């Protein structure tokens, strides 16, 4: 029997108004098996972030439905929050905690064993070693982005939802992120990401192509060709 998809949407309409007529793109039908990687690709303003907001429950669907591991999205459910790790297009960090304290708080809050060792590993992987005692306001924008990415990996996760994770990262860090996402998938974690980055698309197994007039499930190779033609 086929396993329950990690993410499935049917006739999903997303947008910021009240009615289906205000949807920012055509209905989205997609099914992502556990351990797969979905690259969501499209021009600026095509609806990638809006789709991801609906996937993580920040935006209610205007029509259709979206399910994560077979259940309608409800970010208030503890089970949903412990399964879904997100890095969205926002700068959310505790202003009065250092980088290390922020990561430790998240790990311990999620009941991670050996939280301190894990945080040390991630601080190293994300190149934050020398800044781990800095407050978020004292970080560069790229360092803040690294901290937010590291935060997604200090906690339990079955589905990672990333909105343009390549933003503000230098080339070396992008490479490390690609390696990390491949390892996540190999460990059974599902990755759903909006991206304009060919290397990240290369780490995906599935692609969703958004345009004003169409939404198409396709292969990463087609998504790459689309990005290159933009
Ligand atoms: N908070 C909001 N309220 C109203 N409209 C919004 C809001 N956020 C985005 N939009 C509009 O919704 C449409 C889709 O935006 P979205 O951010 O999903 O695009 P995107 O594909 O992620 O673009 P980009 O590649 O630039 O990040 C755009 O027309 C945008 O102007």
Residue 144 has pLDDT above 70, yes or no: yes
Confirm if 33 and 188 have CB atoms less than 8 A apart.
Answer: no
Best mutation site among 24, 40, 208 for ligand 1 pocket (most ligand atoms within 8 Å of CB): 24
> Is the ipTM of this structure higher than 0.95?
yes
pLDDT digits (tens, 9 = 90+) for 71-106: 999 888 888 988 999 999 776 788 899 999 999 999
CB hemisphere CA count around 61 (13 angstroms): 18
What 3-state DSSP class applies to 1? coil
Mean pLDDT value of segment 118-134: 96
Residue 181 is predicted with a pLDDT of: 98
Beta-bridge partners for 163: 194
Best mutation site among 19, 22, 42, 45 for ligand 1 pocket (most ligand atoms within 8 Å of CB): 45
Query: Kind of pairing, strands 206-210 and 190-194?
Result: unpaired
7-229 — its CATH code?
3.40.50.300
pLDDT digits (tens, 9 = 90+) for 50-77: 999 999 999 999 999 999 999 999 888 8
């Amino acid at each position: 029997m086929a396993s329950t998809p990690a993410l499935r949407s049917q006739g999903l309409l997303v947008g910021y108004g009240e009615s289906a007529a205000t949807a920012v793109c055509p209905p989205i039908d997609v099914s992502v098996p556990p351990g797969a990687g979905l690259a969501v690709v499209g021009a600026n303003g095509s609806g990638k972030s809006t789709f991801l907001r609906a996937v993580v429950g920040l935006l209610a669907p205007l029509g259709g439905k979206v399910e994560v591991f077979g259940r309608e999205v409800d970010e208030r459910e503890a089970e949903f929050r412990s399964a879904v790790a997100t890095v969205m297009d926002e700068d959310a960090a505790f202003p009065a905690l250092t980088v290390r304290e922020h990561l430790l708080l998240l790990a311990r809050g999620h009941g991670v064993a050996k939280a301190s060792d894990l945080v040390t590993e991630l601080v190293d992987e994300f190149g934050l070693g020398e800044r781990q005692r800095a407050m978020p306001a004292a970080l560069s924008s790229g360092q803040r982005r690294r901290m937010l990415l590291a935060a997604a990996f200090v906690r339990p996760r079955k589905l990672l939802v990333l909105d343009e994770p390549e933003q503000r990262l230098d080339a070396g860090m992008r490479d490390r992120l690609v390696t990390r996402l491949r390892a996540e998938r190999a460990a059974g974690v599902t990755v759903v990401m909006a991206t304009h980055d060919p290397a990240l698309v290369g780490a995906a197994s599935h692609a969703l192509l958004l345009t004003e007039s169409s939404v198409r499930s396709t292969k990463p190779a087609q998504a790459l060709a689309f990005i290159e033609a933009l």
